[in-house]
Structure 1
Amino acid sequence: MKKSQILVLILGVATIGILYSLPRVVVDNEEGSTQITEDQPSSAQKAEELHDAPMEAEDREVLSGLLKNFDTQENKEKIAALSDQIASIYIKAGKFDSAAYTLDRAAVKLETPQSWEKAGAAYYEAYTFALDQEKVSLLAEKTRTYLTKVLEQDPKRLDLKTKMAMTYVSSANPMQGITMLREVLEEDPTNEDGLFNMGVLSMQSGQYKRAAERFEELVKHHPENVQGQFYLGVSYFESKQNNKAKQQFELVQSMSKEPMVLASVEGYLERL
């Protein structure tokens, strides 16, 4: 996942949502799409309906003015700036789908690698929060559409490749995603996103010992990854390595100040 500095807690909740909606594939055996397009009015409405988070009156008023300006704007620099402003307001309100759709519209007008990446990353963000399978598929497809454009021009962007891989894992062809993650780790064995996602997928398929190995490697090279540290504790717990689990959860307690993360840790410690 991109290092956008989103709160660990939010990322954790999003990942858990994906984790239990993914198809049960074997990650490591060692132990007709819908699209959102500008000429589909219902798609814009669908993006608005996906999230019910309330928007502050002041933000709504600002947003209205920005949208009017954006709809009629022809200057590309202003289009880019306006789309960023609009997306930030939607994100603040928890409307990740609407943010992605706005950046999608900008990308259609701008046709630049930067605009493609912004749209792809925004769709991926919305994808991580989606629960309905139809929405998951729609957002995953849009993520791949834009990130593929960027990768065609810069194939070394492993961070984007891991995002694409995770969208394939929730598709009808999950092994394509697993293969992509393995390719990332072959090229960069310490890749943070690659190790994390392979660990998550090992957990999802019930391979907790293998997951622990992935997360051990992750925190060895990226000790500041609190999510990885937490999931390492969960993997130890689920694989009956209780002493290691206890030590790991105590470490997470010393690293995180997020109330819900700490509550989860306390829950595991009480069960040990």
Structure 2
Amino acid sequence: MKKSQIIVLVLAVAVIGLLYLLPRVVVDNEEGSSGIADEAVKTAPAVEEMHDAPISAEARETLNSIALRLKNEVDREKFVALADTLAALYTQAGRFDSAAYFMEQAALKVETIERWEKAGIAYYEAYTFAMSEQKVAFLADKTRSYLNKVLEKDPKRLDLKTKVAMTYVSSSNPMQGITMLREILEEDPTNEDALFNMGVLSMQSGQYKRAAERFEELVRYYPENLQGQFYLGVSYFESKQNNKAKKQFQQVQSMTTDPMVLASVESYLERL
């Protein structure tokens, strides 16, 4: 997650206590639109069909021009290069589902483990920014479909297994994801992503003492993990360990100069 996502999550802690998968940028497609999922490579959708959020006329023209070239391109290498370009431009614009769509088109054109991984990670990125249940479910399924292909070839990729696990947490079978995270920690007790996500899940379920234990482990191994340091402070605060919370928030203050993060930390300190 990026720094600005920390800010959103900080606000979420203070306001509604939802600490995971709160998007920095809402992917703002029409509800129920399955154009990104259903379009075949040969009918790559126009830009205006993929998003109803405002986009400059110049950017729209550029993206539509490249999409048209992609639609008519028969050379595989050139097709993939165009798809990568569109994915990069959409990522820069914060349109993560569209970026993932074009990464998928490249993976369908050139079926390699590297392309599966890129498509899966792109869909996971879109998944972490999606808000509606329908989009979350769709993007989670896409993530699993590609990352599991990679894991079948290379089961040691715990970084990818962690991402797959997290897609199950928001599904109808969340325990499958939690079980996978536990398996990862059994294999690698210091796995940064797994420790972080288990801590967040403990917070989400109101188990703040357990969350504090997870984040204590995390920052012991990864002291520069700002999110872990911050959430450790929140966990102490919520579990009424005020002295520890104060010390921890002061630690966070020494780690960043971001004004919004510092303001959020100060708000906790004022409440202690």
Q: TM-score range by the shorter chain?
A: 0.7 to 0.9
1:178 aligns with 2:208: no
Identity %: 63
Q: CA RMSD in A?
A: 2.6
1:240 aligns with 2:236: no
Q: Please name the residue that 1:193 is paired with.
A: 193
1:36 aligns with 2:37: yes
Segments of structure 2 that go 5 or more residues without pairing to the other structure are 13-17, 23-33
Q: Please name the residue that 2:262 is paired with.
A: 262
Structure 1 stretches (4+) deviating beyond 6 angstroms? 40-47
Q: Please name the residue that 1:250 is paired with.
A: 250
Q: Assess, with a 3 A threshold, how the Cα gap between structure 1 residues 11 and 72 changes in structure 2: closer, same or farther.
A: farther
The structural deviation recorded for 1:92 is 1.5
Maintained 8 Å contact 1:38/1:105: no
Distance 2:214 2:78 in 1: 44
Maintained 8 Å contact 2:195/2:214: yes
Distance 1:69 1:43 in 2: 12
1:243 maps to a residue whose letter is N
The structural deviation recorded for 1:55 is 3.3
Q: Please name the residue that 1:26 is paired with.
A: none
Maintained 8 Å contact 2:19/2:204: no
Distance 2:155 2:46 in 1: 31
- Give TM-score, length-normalised by structure 1: 0.84
- Give TM-score, length-normalised by structure 2: 0.84
Q: Assess, with a 3 A threshold, how the Cα gap between structure 1 residues 188 and 118 changes in structure 2: closer, same or farther.
A: same
The structural deviation recorded for 1:59 is 3.2
The structural deviation recorded for 1:38 is 3.1
1:48 aligns with 2:50: yes
The structural deviation recorded for 1:254 is 1.5
Q: Please name the residue that 1:118 is paired with.
A: 118
1:146 maps to a residue whose letter is Y
Segments of structure 1 that go 5 or more residues without pairing to the other structure are 1-5, 22-33
Relative contact order higher in (CA < 8 Å, ≥ 6 apart): 1
- Aligned to 1:19, the other structure's residue is in SS state coil
Cα offsets for 1:57-81 (capped at 9, x unmatched): 4433332222122222233332332
1:78-227 equivalences in 2 (<5 Å): 78-227=78-227
Q: Assess, with a 3 A threshold, how the Cα gap between structure 1 residues 9 and 132 changes in structure 2: closer, same or farther.
A: same
Cα offsets for 1:35-58 (capped at 9, x unmatched): 923349899889824x72x43444
Distance 2:266 2:91 in 1: 31
Q: Assess, with a 3 A threshold, how the Cα gap between structure 1 residues 47 and 9 changes in structure 2: closer, same or farther.
A: farther
Maintained 8 Å contact 2:113/2:149: yes
Larger CA deviation: 158-167 vs 89-98: 89-98
Distance 2:5 2:252 in 1: 16
Q: Please name the residue that 1:19 is paired with.
A: 20
Q: Assess, with a 3 A threshold, how the Cα gap between structure 1 residues 171 and 18 changes in structure 2: closer, same or farther.
A: farther
Distance 1:84 1:96 in 2: 13
Q: Please name the residue that 1:9 is paired with.
A: 4
Cα offsets for 1:88-125 (capped at 9, x unmatched): 21112111111111111111111111111111111111
